[in-house]
Structure 1
Amino acid sequence: MYFPMFLQGVQDISTFHSGFITTPYGVLTAFMGVPVGYIIARSGRFKWMYITGYGILAMSMFGLILLDAHSQIVWSVAVALLAGLGYGVIPTINTVVVQNSVPKRLMGVAMGAVFFFLMMGSAISPAILGSTMNVSYENSLSQSLPEGLSDIVDEKTIESLVGDPQVLLSESALENLKETIREKGGNGEQLFQQTVEAIRHSLEAGLRNIFWVGLIMMIVSFLIICTVPSKFADIEE
């Protein structure tokens, strides 16, 4: 969700190329479950893959933090590959571990609980991460906007034009911003470019804070996974 925004908004990459860069993530996420399931079936061991998966995910989050507006595309592809490799092993292991950790009569309850918390996380995390990004974006933007902009455009208009962090992803919004600055007079083209750079810098700051939150959560998850037993225990029916 936020990685494509980083590619398109911060690195100024087209939607097509953004999709091309993130494709390895989707492919590996879908594919990795097959070899993971085979290895578990053959060996009965899963912990090393669990730890490896979360470790690789943490590495990919750290890689996202290191990216900036001038990073080469190859590094973005590398981050997508790492994320796909790391995340691809986790859903299969989660399912197998839960199913082998409870009696068969409670398996439905256990799996229901797993998917309940997955859905809760999917609903809550965008709100938390989005709020984090918006606060960081607004704080950075207030300090980054060119001084000349406030001289020709009132604060309410500025808020309506650049208050949305996704303004860089919309050609119509950028065109509207450009026309507004041009109509107000002054050095329109230069002021527009300075404003766009300020928005891009602020968006980068907001997204980097999100990536930091993700890295911290990956490290916490990694430490928790390290406490999981190495093999399945014998569960009474």
Structure 2
Amino acid sequence: MTHLTDKKKLTIMIAIITALFFAAINQTIIGIAMPRIIAKLGGVDYYSWAITIYLLTSTVASILVGKISDIYGRRTFLLLGIGVFSLGAILSGFATDIIQLISFRAIQGAGAGIIMSTVFTAVGDLYEPRERAKWSGVLSAVFGISSVAGPLLGGYIVDHLDWRWVFWTFLPLGVIAFMLIFINFPKGTKREGESIDYWGSLFLTSTIVPLLLALSLAGEGPNKYAWGSWQILGLFAVTIIALLIFIWIQMRVKSPVLPLGLFKNSIFTVSNLVSFFLNAGMMGAIIYVPLFLQGVKGISPTHSGYAAMPMSIAMLVTSALSGQFISKTGKYKKMGIIGLMVMTIGISCLYFMTPTTPIYLLILYLIVLGLGLGTAMPVFTLTVQNAVAPHQIGVATASSQLFRNLGGTIGIAVMGSIMSTSIAKKMTELAGAHGQQTIPVSTDPALAEKLALINNPQNLLDQPKIEAALKSLSPESQVLFTKMLDTVQEALSYSITTTFLVGAIMAAIAVVLACFLKEIPLRSGKNMEKSG
């Protein structure tokens, strides 16, 4: 599509940006709202699953669509992605329990994977790498805008409206995005001599799904299995067997879903590994900061959104500037390393938070994180696209999305397991240390009922319920209730900040890997030969 006029390309980009914003705003609006949704539907033990399942299906869909869209074109899959995503959003709003919500989020995630993979690939079709860098910054800025608007709107909706409107509010935007793509995006023609790798797709899916299930289900606590249990070991065994079969298939089929030869390109391999660890570290902060703000600090979803907004603004500004800088200079390695280092510092600061940490300090840490994310994020999809031949852009971009999503999904799964284990451990430790002294057994049934209420960390996410319980007690009982509340908040704080430590380690690994990234000139003009 590089032959199109600039005006036509701009029209198509408006349609692409609308589709991306539709998917992104629906993704970012959930983070702030999830604690309150869990408080309404129940199932705090499944808290991370509502996010994990979305990333899991998004991961599978993005890599499968990448190769197929190389064969049949992008238009059909953009429209399919918007349709599937919208269906998942509608159904999620009608969920009556956490299991239904997780199931419908799986549908929504599949649509998101199709949209995300196809959007970034389409930009690769339209522009050469030097100009593509500028648009990569714009697309990252779209994420930044959605990161600002999403938390604010999500908090406002769950505070003032039924939580279901979190999923329904932006459906009209999906209709607009669908129509813009349908009208403006050129119809694709099937590439001759190519075929769909059905068996490869099947065994790639059979590799990813059991792996992510094992990482999500392993650990201590309700609905978890020990790492050495037959359930977890069985899932890992299925993963290994499916992976070996997948590799065997990819070495023999004519049009592999993930050409293994791409991994011989060091830029392709290093960029994808960096993307994996970048997303693994980032997702922990995005998912668990709202939980800290609402569960530990006790602030409302709306104010939680305000607290997260400066991070999004910082990310928005630096992503746009990063894209412009790379477009003008053609240099990207130092930009990526600096961004990752700043991101690592930001997540590391989050690890040192306690229940008494002032909100302004938390906001400052998030700004540092946003500055790093915005600087680094536009870099590594661009490096992948620049390092492969034009006819491989679709599958290369999809592979980049695959590693990003795998990083985010595995990161959340691992952090969720660590959080479940650490909160149970900390609650036991605190109860043994001073529980009997500060919270004696009471003969007051009302107090006993209220203490049982806050003994479940899930109830900390419904602050109005906690405040009502406190006000209903006598002054003497309020003292005991407050001590118990402090204990549970301390345990929740400890478990959440432990996940930030894991995120910081993963981000630091990304920094080290980025140092090995080979820098080659970004292609410009009509030079579309393979580089590197």
TM-score by length of 1: 0.84
Matched, 1:230 2:519: yes
Q: 1:169-180 residue pairs with structure 2 within 5 A? A: 169-171=461-463, 173-174=465-466
Give the letter aligned to residue 189 of structure 1: Q
Return the offset for 1:90. 2.4
Give the letter aligned to residue 489 of structure 2: R
1:165 match: 457
Instruction: Quote the RMSD (CA, aligned, Å).
Output: 3.0
Instruction: Give unpaired runs (5+ residues) of structure 1.
Output: none
Counting matched residue pairs gives 232
Identity value in percent: 25
1:88 match: 374
Q: 1:172-211 residue pairs with structure 2 within 5 A? A: 173-174=465-466, 188-211=477-500
Counterpart of 2:441 in 1: which secondary structure?
A: helix
8 Å contact 1:8–1:169 — kept in the other structure? yes
8 Å contact 2:296–2:489 — kept in the other structure? yes
8 Å contact 1:57–1:218 — kept in the other structure? yes
Pick 1 or 2: higher relative contact order, CA cutoff 8 A, min separation 6. Answer: 1
Return the offset for 1:120. 2.8
8 Å contact 2:308–2:366 — kept in the other structure? yes
Counterpart of 2:299 in 1: which secondary structure?
A: coil
Return the offset for 1:178. 5.5
1:213 corresponds to which of 484, 502, 517: 502
In 2, the alpha carbon distance for the partners of 1:118 and 1:232 equals 24
2:333 match: 47
* 1:181-207 residue CA offsets vs partner (Å, 9 max, x unmatched): x6xx9x532221111011111011101
Change (3 A) 1:160 1:188: closer
Counterpart of 2:530 in 1: which secondary structure?
A: coil
Give the letter aligned to residue 215 of structure 1: A
Give the letter aligned to residue 430 of structure 2: S
* 1:75-95 residue CA offsets vs partner (Å, 9 max, x unmatched): 112111111111112221112
Matched, 1:141 2:431: no
Return the offset for 1:137. 0.8
2:347 match: 61
Give the letter aligned to residue 15 of structure 1: P
Return the offset for 1:176. 8.1
Give the letter aligned to residue 151 of structure 1: V
Instruction: Give unpaired runs (5+ residues) of structure 2.
Output: 1-286, 444-448, 524-528
Return the offset for 1:220. 0.5
* 1:141-185 residue CA offsets vs partner (Å, 9 max, x unmatched): 1222422657359xxx899745643422213553686599x6xx9
8 Å contact 2:350–2:500 — kept in the other structure? yes
2:441 match: 151
Q: 1:2-151 residue pairs with structure 2 within 5 A? A: 2-145=288-431, 146-147=435-436, 149=439, 151=441
8 Å contact 2:338–2:376 — kept in the other structure? no
In 2, the alpha carbon distance for the partners of 1:171 and 1:210 equals 23
In 2, the alpha carbon distance for the partners of 1:165 and 1:224 equals 38
Which consecutive aligned stretches of 4+ in structure 1 deviate over 4 angstroms post-superposition? Answer: 157-160, 175-180
In 2, the alpha carbon distance for the partners of 1:114 and 1:22 equals 27
